[in-house]
Structure 1
Amino acid sequence: MKLFRSCAAVLALTAASLALTANAQEVQQNASGDPLYTVQAPDGFAMIGDLLIARPLLIGATAIGAAAFVVSLPFSAMGGGIGAAGRALVVEPGKAAFVRCLGCTGDGYNQRQ
């Protein structure tokens, strides 16, 4: 019975992903042409792959990075690299997991430097 439910769930997800429209453009710009407001419009397959594969892996990487940051904190403090270690181990995977839009490859926003 479990095999039947698993096959039915895979079939339903496949049918749902095929029903999504895939005519979105890769990158669109607004009428002002300002790159600050550049919007990505990924297709449905990218969104489903991001939701089912990439986001859980990135959330796990954020949790593992936080644990590694706590373990490496005394050594980072001695070397003066607490900020760099925090950004590399926690902030970057967290930003990729929680800030960017579903299926997008960027951060979800563009900041001016």
Structure 2
Amino acid sequence: MAKKSMVAREKKREALVAKYAAKRAELKEIINNKELEMEERFRASLKLAKLPRNSSAVRLHNRCQLTGRPHAYYRKLKISRIALRDLGSSGQIPGMVKSSW
């Protein structure tokens, strides 16, 4: 089980990303528009730099929704390999059977 503080920090980042997504996209659009003046684009880049760092989607890290584990994460299922194994062994995932050979 991951530390509760780390899981809470990740949830806070997700909220910030959602809150500032439109503003970041708008500023990036201005910055990447080559037809605008250089000064206006520079002002937009300064505004982008003033936004919270945690509002960037790059800073998000996938975590297991059951345990909060950050490693060995299956994106499609949104759980870690350990949680997947436990659920599969207990028969809670349809179609998943423990292999034996």
TM tier relative to shorter chain: 0.3 to 0.5
Larger Cα-atom Rg: 2
TM-score (norm 1): 0.31
